[in-house]
A and B are shown apart, each in its own frame.
Chain A
Amino acid sequence: MTLSIHDDGLDDDAIKARVRRQVEAHGPPQYEIFVETGASLSIDLERGSLKNAEVGRDSGVGIRVANKDGQSAFSYTSQTDPTSIDRVVRTVISTMRMATPDPDFVSFAGTAPAKNLPGGVVFDPSVERLTIDDAVQLVKGTMESALREPDPRVHSVNVSFKASCTRVSVLNSNGIDAREDQSDAMLTCEVTVKDGGEMSSDYDFTSGRDLGRISVDVGGRATRRALKTLGKVRVKTGFYPVVIGTRAVGAVLAGAIASGVNAEVVQQGMSFLGGMIGKQIAPDHFSLIDDPRLESGTRALSCSFDGEGFPTRRKSIVNGGTLETLLHNSYTANKAGVESTGNAARSGYTSPPRISQFNLVVQPRRDHVDHGLLEGIRHGIYFDQTYDSPNLTTGDFSGMIASGFLIEDGVITSPISQANFGVKLLDLFNSIEMYGDELDDRAGIVTPPIRLKGLHVSGSL
């Protein structure tokens, strides 16, 4: 009962070989076979009591085919026995014949010089050897950490741990034949606190490709975070100097830019960043890198090849404030007449490749990094968290500051209650002033906190 993906009897080479024989027998000139096999373990602790433990195994095959007219289709199945494979091949070919011709379709991903990341970067064998008892110790340790400094205001502590191992392999008719084992682990602690009639909550998590990144100290951090959210004050509607905390940078800045340079969205004419390549979209001290080949840190989204088996590479999305590239898969790259950037992304064997970023790294110019990021802010807001997402077509972004704090005379003071924001993203990018000197590395975003000249905030005072 471990997360082994090596002894579960599933032979991805045999599956690929059978699909390939069947497809070639039916004659579509182009095919792509994606095989995934995985095992996962998760465990939840609720208010100090173990609640449930789960293990799951999943595997399947996704097949794309296309003909010379650009008719294409995708089919998948979780059943990898020969009869099911033969059936899904027949299905995908008949489905392809229903599709419209597409003159923009040229080819699935071509081959490029490829080298897998060094062993250990994306796969940690110790995740594969995890047992349920190891997981129990992790969640118990996290709870103990959360309750180490007893505080009567702590109302509930909930902890969850999840780990998974996945083997991904891609083979296509252009000669791509890629395979990689990947592991992930994530430990999350949510703490709810109460003081009189006020109830609040916060969480923290630790995650990465290897168990070495997982620390039960996340419990204590979650408790400290949650306690800081008590005593909320209302703010007045107005224009405030703002520091974007590292938990919010993904939503309001890095992720918003990466979503806006998704070539599929741009080619549909539905991105506010369409037509902005080569143009200045942010101050010259701001750079943003998409780096799937990060070998240090959590490496949350590091991988050697993308969802089409095309080698990944590091690239500047924004360099010195100038927008440098769109993110492409093979379809959008062929349509634009450029090389794929290796950003095809799948959510498993059940999805055809779309486009997504990998690890996003915010790179400030050194002369704009300042330890005293909050200094000089007499009355501002620390924007800690939002769950909103921008309107990519217009570049407008309005939403709720789900967690935020007042900054008074250069110091973070009270948490704020109920505040909304609204901004044009290009204005927000251009209002970046400087960066903190501490990097946070979580969930595929590596960034310092970022100070903006200001943001319109609707308060309830």
Chain B
Amino acid sequence: MTTDDMQAAVDRATALGAGFCDIRLDSWQGLSLEVMQSRTRNVVSSLGSGAGVRALVGGAWGFATTIDTSRPSLIRCSETAVRLARACTRFVKEDQRFTIPEGAKFASGRDEVTRDGEMDSIAGEDKIKFCLDLDKSARARSMLVKNVVIRFSESFSESAVVNSLGAHIEKSIGTVYALTNVMVKENDVLQSGSEVFSHIGCWNTADPLAVEQTAIAAVDQGLRLLKAKPCPPGAFTIVVDNKLGGVFVHEAMGHACEADSILAGQSILESKVGNRVGNEAVTIVDDGSRRDLFGYMPSDSEGIPSRKTILVKDGVLAGYLHDLETASRMEQQPTGNGRAEGFDCMPQVRMTNTYLEPRDWKPDEIVADTGRGIYCRNWQYGYVEPEKGNFMFKCKEAMMIENGQQTTSLKDVALSGQILSVLHDIDAIGNDFGSSGGMCGKGGQRVRVSDASPHFRIKNVLVGGMDG
């Protein structure tokens, strides 16, 4: 395959009447493995490639994918994509017709975040040995560790995008993700702890000591939870750490700012740009160009360069995240947030690295200034219903705050809130900054993201604990 073949497929679509067409070709290799009970399980190596062609006719997309990346196959895909789009075009409402205007600034050339061959520069045996050593380190941390599960994965992918507006983009990037999950037991009380390491680049550029620290942190977290008490239910003032704070921003605000949900009439933030949505200390940003964070990418799946986009500026909703379609339909500039999980998925509007800007409180001062509340650390998962305005997330561990002091350790703390009110209830934002990387799911597609924030405090958050 060459970009000439991709161009031929694009040309075929435009010759058949597509107003816009792009083709994305991905190839990848991967290694993943698990260590369970100090033995490897499910050592998986993978190799694959495929292409997806998207054609826009009168405001409807046709999308066809193939794993046969020969020129005839790509051209057939283009023909199918146009045919699919045409089947829909006559049912596109007049006010929802659009095209992708010329003038969007696409990336160009080749962006090698990771070079071909880097993944193979360290032998698979060495990666397995590292994971087995990691298991030993975690077990050596405490006699109470009863089991350790390590999930390690490394991938390298190359991607090319060619479109009918003349863009030719190629990029290559590697990632490493390692999860350590430990089970600890004391006097018949079972608990688990888990911590994640995420990295842009292949294993040859990762810091093994940082991975080991996550394994140790997982054990320590499990040990703390052994002593944790159930959390009382009700409304509390909460202080969140960097990791949970990042997920809070992602769930409480980020998803509702994705312009595809605005256009679909499924976001509570529809028509709210320019409105005050939070305390004036609150500024929230999405920035896919941050090379130090796990949601980094040089350009998105549509070839738009990554950039910083301000979602909330000093408490006022400043804008939405866009892909080519939503930017065209809302007469905005694309923000580089059109992302697809793979060649076989249509791009959707997705976050990248989303964070709350730091302010001036020292983290310790926030806790000391809190009379009664809960200090919530780290996250298990979170989700949001932008169409209802609800979000919820679960933290991994928490401490009761009484008279400015951390007292009792708490477990299984679930927090929920409402998008339109919660940012008003933030009343102290720290001067620190920390992030965590993970995978975000939407519409059946998972993409890597990072969420980050300083420590901050929110009043009146509903907590669902176990203690009735």
Interface string of A29-71 (1 = CB under 8 A from B): 0000000000000010111111111111111100000000000
Residues of B within 8 A of A48 (CB): 93
Partner of B266, one of A156, A269, A270: A156
CA of A48 to CA of B340, assembled, Å:
25
Task: Give the number of residues in B that approach A within 8 Å (Cβ atoms).
Answer: 85
16 CB-based A-B contacts, threshold 8 Å: A50-B88, A53-B61, A53-B87, A57-B66, A58-B65, A76-B48, A77-B47, A78-B49, A96-B43, A98-B124, A140-B91, A158-B266, A239-B468, A393-B183, A400-B392, A460-B462
CB of A398 within 8 A of chain B? yes
Decide: A54 and B64 in contact? CB cutoff 8 A: yes
Residues of B within 8 A of A452 (CB): none
CB of A95 within 8 A of chain B? yes
Partner of B234, one of A158, A192, A237, A424: A237
CB of A429 within 8 A of chain B? no
CB of A181 within 8 A of chain B? no
Number of residue pairs across A and B with beta carbons under 8 Å? 265
Interface set, chain B 185-222, CB cutoff 8 A to A: 185, 190-192
Residues of A within 8 A of B31 (CB): 95
Decide: B233 and A53 in contact? CB cutoff 8 A: no
Q: Which of B104-112, B161-169, B285-293, B410-418 contacts A (4 or more CB under 8 A)?
A: B410-418
Q: Which of B12-20, B381-389, B430-438 contacts A (4 or more CB under 8 A)?
A: B381-389
Interface string of B52-69 (1 = CB under 8 A from A): 100000011111111100
Decide: A155 and B265 in contact? CB cutoff 8 A: yes
Decide: B412 and A398 in contact? CB cutoff 8 A: yes
Decide: B464 and A100 in contact? CB cutoff 8 A: no
CA of A416 to CA of B191, assembled, Å:
33
Decide: B92 and A49 in contact? CB cutoff 8 A: yes
Task: Give the number of residues in A that approach B within 8 Å (Cβ atoms).
Answer: 85
* Chain B contact residues, CB within 8 Å of chain A: 31, 33, 36-50, 52, 59-67, 80, 83-85, 87-89, 91-93, 96, 124-125, 128, 132, 146-147, 149, 183, 185, 190-192, 230-231, 233-235, 263-266, 268, 344, 346, 381, 383, 385, 387-390, 392, 394, 411-414, 416-418, 462-468
Closest 5 CB pairs of A and B: A420-B464, A156-B265, A458-B233, A456-B468, A52-B61
**Closest chain B residue to A155 by CB distance?**
B265
Interface string of A385-429 (1 = CB under 8 A from B): 001110101101111101000000000000000111111100000
Decide: B85 and A59 in contact? CB cutoff 8 A: no
By DSSP majority rule, is chain B's interface helix, strand, loop, or mixed?
Answer: strand
Question: Given contacts A1-B80, A95-B124, A422-B414, is CB(A400)–CB(B390) below 8 Å?
Answer: yes
CA of A420 to CA of B412, assembled, Å:
12
Decide: B85 and A418 in contact? CB cutoff 8 A: no
Residues of A within 8 A of B381 (CB): 389
**Closest chain B residue to A351 by CB distance?**
B44
Partner of A79, one of B47, B234, B418: B47
Decide: B266 and A190 in contact? CB cutoff 8 A: yes
Decide: B231 and A201 in contact? CB cutoff 8 A: no
Decide: B61 and A418 in contact? CB cutoff 8 A: no
CA of A87 to CA of B46, assembled, Å:
11
Decide: B264 and A350 in contact? CB cutoff 8 A: no
Residues of B within 8 A of A269 (CB): 146-147, 183, 185, 190
Decide: A54 and B233 in contact? CB cutoff 8 A: no
